[in-house]
Structure 1
Amino acid sequence: MNIKCAIVDDEQTARNILRKYVNDVPRLEVVNESKNALEALDYIQNNEIDLIFLDIEMPKLSGLNFAKLINKNTKIIFTTAHREFAIESYELNATDYLLKPFSFERFLKAVQKVAQPVSKNVESKNSTYIYVKVNKQMVKVSFLDLLYVEGMSNYIKVHTSAEVLVVYEKLSTIINSLPSSMFARIHKSYIVNISKIKLYTKEYVEIQNKHIPISSTYRNSLFDMLG
């Protein structure tokens, strides 16, 4: 079954590039193109759409405000030339955030998050938290409070804005429960909340005065997310 896509962007060139990219990917199908959010809203509220490629800065209604009006089950990939909206887009549970101009490879990485089947461990569409097991108790951790996860020999440390939780689980397991639009693995021993990164270099990111190393394996994918 094809994934029905809508493109919402006030720039004709941007719509042309997205349409070409979509047409080059099996199972993706453009069913609507709109040059502003109000035009798109009328179509999307009356037709079935699986995925929206959504610009942010548009006349009359911004992409961020538009995203708050549509069905929460509809996936959104923001496409914008402005990196400053990234944090707000993550709070809207966007699938990904593409910073213009983006390559086809980066586009493909974003749409694969929609095309791949959802793991049973991944949070529900409207979830903003997970539960982790600490000393036989299930502790609620908000995604917005989670700073980073540190992998140890046979357990992990979940660092939040308020505390550090020791959880006997593998790093490779917990990442399946975190939204890929908000969290990224940057090292064999670290997963970070992208919105909490204060600064970064080629070698590390800084979160609350902690320097967390970036390995060469994950460097390119991290820099793509950071733009």
Structure 2
Amino acid sequence: MKISCIIVEDEPLAAERLQGYVQKLPFLNLVAMFDNAIDALVFLKTQSVDLLFLDINLGDFSGIKLLETANIKSQVVLTTAYHEYAIKGFDLKVSDYLLKPFTLERFIQAIDRVQEYFTKTEVPQPKKFIFVKTEYRLEKILFDEMLFIEGKGDYRRIHTATKKIMTLQTFTEFEQEIPAAIVCRVHKSFMVAIDKIDSIEKDRIRINNTLIPISDSYRQTFYDIINQSVK
């Protein structure tokens, strides 16, 4: 992922060096640079960034005061020439504390910590498709297009809104790959796409013009899923 960041540094040489480090890492996107905390605070009131490189000694309104008084949601890497602020910095739960002059290697270590944070908090995107083995190729099947899967001897026939695909993949494999809330087993020979069901009557499911039976073995699980969708 791209990590957007800003630099708040009042020493021109230090700011230039830090900018150079940021530009060496293609996954860092430098959005803005400020030489004082007030301008940075005004910016952060209307813009959000992932990471803030923050000098501590910035005149009357220091980097520490910025963190103590403002609701900063970005990850923060403190930069300073004074080691005595280290404990205070970690009290404020910053990602890292870089003591000037720091090397590129030490800078990368700090970025690794930031990346680790985003990796842990990143919400995985739900799966939207599977690839199915058919003949001599892999066919992409979108969950949104699936209607039902029908057992045909050793084969499974996948019915979608636009096509039918035959495969040797088993129902068990489909159950492992597709969440039951999306495509549910209802019979030893059928799985159905929950959102494509037109009606349910007398333990039969209607999808378009096809009637699909619900067997005793799968009835309870199926109706539990249906009841959840009704709430």
* Alpha-carbon shift at residue 72 of structure 1 (Å): 4.2
CA RMSD of aligned residues (A): 1.5
Q: Quick one: percent identity of the two aligned structures?
A: 38
1:142-181 equivalences under 5 Å are: none
Distance in 2 (alpha carbons) for counterparts of 1:89 and 1:82: 11
C-alpha displacement of 1:118: 1.9
In the alignment, does 2:57 pair up with 1:57?
yes
Could you tell me the TM-score, scaled by structure 2's length?
0.50
Q: C-alpha distance in 1, partners of 2:71/2:22?
A: 22
List aligned pairs for 1:81-160, cutoff 5 A: 81-116=81-116, 117-118=119-120
Partner deviation per Cα, 1:82-120 (whole Å, 9 max, x = no partner) = 000011001000100000000000000001111231279
Number of residue pairs matched by the alignment: 120
Are the equivalent residues in 2 in contact too, given 1:3–1:28 (CA < 8 A)?
Answer: yes
Alignment of 1:12-27 (within 5 A): 12-27=12-27
What's 2:29 paired with?
29
Relative to 1, partners in 2 of residues 1:105 and 1:37: Cα closer, same or farther, differing over 3 Å?
Answer: same
CA distance in 1, matches of 2:71, 2:33: 18
| Higher normalized contact order (CA 8 Å, seq sep 6+, divided by chain length) | 1
CA distance in 2, matches of 1:7, 1:97: 14
Query: Is the partner of 1:68 in helix, strand or coil?
Result: helix
Q: CA deviation at 1:18?
A: 0.8
**Cα separation, 1, equivalents of 2:121 and 2:30:** 26
User: Between Structure 1 and Structure 2, whose CA radius of gyration is higher?
Assistant: 2
Counterpart position of 1:67: 67
Question: Gaps spanning 5+ residues in structure 2: where?
Answer: 123-231
Match of 2:8 in 1: 8
Q: Distance in 1 between matches of 2:34 and 2:78?
A: 14
Checking the alignment, whether the CA contact within 8 Å between 1:45 and 1:70 is kept in structure 2 is no
Q: Which deviations, in whole Å up to 9, do the C-alpha atoms of 1:146-195 show, x marking residues without a partner? A: xxxxxxxxxxxxxxxxxxxxxxxxxxxxxxxxxxxxxxxxxxxxxxxxxx
Q: Which runs of 5+ in 1 are unaligned?
A: 121-227
- Greater fraction of residues in helix: 2
Q: d(CA) in 1 for partners of 2:31 and 2:121?
A: 27
Question: Is 1:45 aligned to residue 45 of structure 2?
Answer: yes
* Aligned counterparts of 1:95 and 1:103: Cα–Cα separation in 2: 17
- What residue number does 1:180 align with? none
CA distance in 2, matches of 1:59, 1:42: 17
Paired with 1:4 and 1:52, the residues of 2 have a C-alpha distance of 9
Q: Provide the secondary structure at the position in 1 that maps to 2:120.
A: coil
Cα gap change, 1:91/1:15 in structure 2, threshold over 3 Å: closer, same or farther?
Answer: same
